[in-house]
Structure 1
């Protein structure tokens, strides 16, 4: 095209390829309210700038000021603490790490340096009573092996610190009761870290089931499996773990089903299978399958295994549809599909929810409970109920029969 031809197609004005026109001299250039936002209760809020066809943007983060966040001592610096929990504190809005407790001094010093924690706030397990003198610590997160939870929760409570404790709560229901009593006597809060109850897809599945729009739940299938490696792991030692696949990963199925339905089972039945001649499973179970029967008539079929390829899914069959949550019990990678009738056809939807770190969500929830004086959603009594149910499941497997909970 010649220069003469180009000139014929040159157009100017607002919104043209030549760019927007500049405002006239003296014309106001102040942004509109939709761009400026407003301040409400100390938080900045913006109006929706998107059209009706797109979902609105979430509100901007509104973290508490650093000196208003609840200070936590992380007790135990194993894989879970270093790979998931401590990184989650970086995303927290209401909590921060202010101290560490570990039996490995070199590791504790290295981690303290990474997270900017004063070496004076690094303690051994034998020094936990000194937490009472650290005003920067209001709560602890216990991330030690199950068999040590009673000892460490009791020590933290005696030091006057609120307690967030990893699941399973303990090795036995009796230990769980002692933990509840120790925290009640000390006047501190106790929460069990059921992270999946805070995960966004699990929460959405629970909301939809309990809304009743798809009718009553009739059958739930929950599976948590992974292939276990070295037999030297503490998870394969009964004194530290309390059991094998059931308390470690099967608990997610047990607690997840209870949470989704919002009711307690009245009868349980279980079977355990261990591979022959595998020394790793002399003390604990490799695979357990169990059934839970609920007052509403719903039945849950659950399985947990240390010997099957990784699978962490929950499937809920209701009267008017079904809900599948893929990777329901994993740290990330969740997907949800929902089937229901739409006119004369069956429609399958896939809601897309924004990822949020479930460890961050549970930690911030407990921090707000500590700060506001409210009760946590997953208190010690929630952990105790699961301990009672797991003992009933083990009894069922030993005796080869269903066990009613009123027994």
Structure 2
């Protein structure tokens, strides 16, 4: 997508009742000109790490969302982003003065891309400032914190969306369509394998205070969430086992490898693995009485590839974060209903399942899940 088009956005028009400014955007294509006239979601990114850079670069191609501000505790990063993304000084904040963003009418939403343990407070501060919130997953380090975030956003009358980029990915949506249309028959089994290797003991992902756990609080959420939207049901029980081979890196409360099994009301089951100790694990497999779908890679930045009993999946290859931000802008600005929810309640459900996984590991017993 980045190679096909560059969108130039120009502020203008009449302010909306919600203080969202319409923008005219032009997309150059060979032999034609495509014009977008409509409201644009003006976004400030909080936390300027590697993934934030990926999102910012992808937003250059958005028509309905525009990066206009930054929040960071590192002044040098703010300066770098100002130059790279043309961010005005008045839209730059640190964590001390961030609450004054409530007085900035040129920012509509804050995208929270900080370590997991900071999501709760960052989201609530943004909501109290009257800004819509997009929060990276996992939304928090507990279901309790997640619910508090949902409640705070409702109280402030702002939207809370979670960064489930796969909910908008074309291959993924095609599998969901096939399942809904009965092409796979009755769903019987799902497998989700997600993982990569961490060898750095100083990375925040293996710091319990910042991450809230280990691989389950990061890569494992893809298999949990994937099992739910692939099977099309909510799990009712879980069993789980933990394997730890390197306690020097994966200290108490930081899981290295977790295998977990989910059961669904229809009788379908899921077998999943989440790890920080193995590479080459990015695979979903969905089986039904009439057919199957395999996706590999299934959740990384792409290109996502899949095949079914009918042959290859041939949906368009997209930049996930560009599509995500376009769709989320539509949800916030126009009330669009996505095929798979990305709201705060969706995030809380995943947190409840993660907590059940951890409880099953600790007890060695099957845990009931109530969502």
TM-score, structure 2 as length reference? 0.88
Number of aligned residues:
341
2:344 aligns with: 380
2:124 aligns with: 154
1:363 aligns with: 325
Provide the rounded CA distance (Å) in 2 between the counterparts of 1:61 and 1:334.
30
Residue 62 of structure 1: CA displacement? Answer: 5.0
Superposed CA deviations along residues 234-253 of structure 1, whole A, max 9, x for unmatched, are: 11011111110111001000
* Aligned match for 1:275, one of 222, 225, 245: 245
1:179 aligns with 2:179: no
Residue 132 of structure 1: CA displacement? Answer: 1.1
**Structure 1: gaps of 5 or more residues:** 1-41, 45-59, 340-347
1:303 aligns with 2:267: no
RMSD: 2.0
Provide the rounded CA distance (Å) in 2 between the counterparts of 1:392 and 1:143.
25
Provide the rounded CA distance (Å) in 1 between the counterparts of 2:185 and 2:33.
36
Superposed CA deviations along residues 166-222 of structure 1, whole A, max 9, x for unmatched, are: 000100011001101110110000011111111111111111112112201111111
1:11 aligns with: none
Provide the rounded CA distance (Å) in 1 between the counterparts of 2:35 and 2:56.
17
1:80 aligns with: 51
1:392 aligns with: 356
TM-score, structure 1 as length reference? 0.80
1:117 aligns with 2:79: no
Give the match's secondary structure for 1:281: coil
1:70 aligns with: 41
1:218 aligns with 2:188: yes
Closer, same or farther: CA 274–71 of 1 in aligned 2, 3 Å: same
Residue 366 of structure 1: CA displacement? Answer: 1.6
Residue 309 of structure 1: CA displacement? Answer: 1.5
Provide the rounded CA distance (Å) in 2 between the counterparts of 1:267 and 1:283.
22
Q: Note the 1:1-400 alignment, pairs <5 A.
A: 62=34, 64-65=36-37, 68-82=39-53, 84-339=54-309, 348-374=310-336, 377-400=341-364
CA contact (8 A) 1:210 1:261 kept: no
Provide the rounded CA distance (Å) in 1 between the counterparts of 2:297 and 2:36.
31
2:5 aligns with: none
Which structure is higher in RCO with an 8 Å CA cutoff and minimum separation 6?
2
**Structure 2: gaps of 5 or more residues:** 1-23, 27-31
